Structure 1
């Protein structure tokens, strides 16, 4: 198995209501699962290949809950990546060189038998985890805009977090609201639905956590 490790920040938007039942081992709000995610890799390597400073994104769709499978996914890799870097990022997000089901990418890949052509595109990505503000823009594929949840009566900013000490995606995520329009091979239209802003630190074995 090729040794790899990456750390960075992510913004994801799915079609569930705020909180996303999937985070609590419950069924999705509307029965199906669909999402768009952007990743900023601050530090990383895949074997001897450096992944520092690169970006990636993906669009995923399932007709039902993720665990029932039959989904499809498409990966977009930063156009700045060379061939080796591109192949490395695709390998990680496809769950290769990874203990089975130990990362969110391994789970998603396993549950997506349809893997569409990987794209090389410029990825505009802004993520402010503390303020729950962000944007992902991939030309001709999708645009996501994230913001804090607001009180529907007063308009005051509402703050909530999800803490998953044994999760396969993050330890703590700040929860916000986001909208996505995806016009590529996988089409999505999400309006003010669940968004998560989180740091990630992963390797072959799953999330990297400090020893207790």
Structure 2
């Protein structure tokens, strides 16, 4: 644990995470395999349902990241880049808290993930971020007006029971960390690391040197439950 993390107050954040990316469905990165085309880029969005950093409430705030990398992100460091948008609704104390957590300076899984990725940061901004997640996990959406749009609809097919979701457990490459404590809304598998799979209906970015526009590729939703600083 870093010296900065040691001085951070007790904090806890629970919520929804999802992505839209370049890979085919299902994204092999979630299974700790190389991406479909050897490289990947996409949108990652976090919605804090409930959270606090010391006595600072984080309830309802959003964070969005654009990222790209080459090769198996879980096994190698190569040409990884990222840029982050923080919720402009956050006041000064909340902005500091979000930056501490998502930069990894406050410990917990974000610190581990950032160390593992070694990504070069292309930029950071405070912006209007809208995140919507259906309670039944039928779909999700995130937007930064004029700069990012990500949306997806849950997978279904001729053998999927009506209203059921296509889900995976115990992912070897979960972006939200190992063994989640929170229960995934709509999940029939109870507490644990649950990914709900979907297909992107929108995946567009035009910011910080990232530029793409596509539909039909992979998307997934996983809850997150983080607490810090680490003991």
TM-score (norm 2): 0.76
Match of 1:135 among 135, 141, 152: 141
Match of 1:75 among 84, 99, 115: 84
Q: Is residue 181 of structure 2 the alignment partner of residue 172 of structure 1?
A: no
> Structure 1: how far apart are the matches of 2:21 and 2:42?
4
The 8 Å contact of residues 20 and 150 in structure 2, kept in 1 or not, is answered as yes
**Cα deviations by residue, 1:156-187 (Å, 9 ceiling, x for unpaired):** 99841111278516511211011311011122
> Structure 2: how far apart are the matches of 1:110 and 1:165?
17
**Cα RMSD (Å) of the superposition?**
2.6
Equivalent residues in 2 for 1:33-44 (5 A)?
33-44=40-51
The 8 Å contact of residues 154 and 166 in structure 2, kept in 1 or not, is answered as no
Q: Which residue of 2 aligns with 1:209?
A: none
Q: Is residue 208 of structure 2 the alignment partner of residue 201 of structure 1?
A: no
Runs (5+) with no aligned partner, structure 2: 1-5, 181-192
The 8 Å contact of residues 103 and 110 in structure 2, kept in 1 or not, is answered as no
Runs (5+) with no aligned partner, structure 1: 207-212
Equivalent residues in 2 for 1:1-212 (5 A)?
1=6, 2=8, 3-67=10-74, 68-69=76-77, 70-99=79-108, 103=109, 106-108=112-114, 110-128=116-134, 130-151=136-157, 159-164=165-170, 167=174, 168=177, 170=180, 171-178=193-200, 179-185=202-208, 186-204=210-228
> Structure 2: how far apart are the matches of 1:119 and 1:46?
20
The 8 Å contact of residues 82 and 123 in structure 2, kept in 1 or not, is answered as no
Of Structure 1 and Structure 2, which has the larger fraction of its residues in strand? 1
Distance 1:131 1:33, change over 3 A: same
TM-score (norm 1): 0.82
**Cα deviations by residue, 1:26-45 (Å, 9 ceiling, x for unpaired):** 11111112121222111111
The 8 Å contact of residues 107 and 229 in structure 2, kept in 1 or not, is answered as yes
* Matched residues, number: 200
The 8 Å contact of residues 143 and 150 in structure 2, kept in 1 or not, is answered as yes
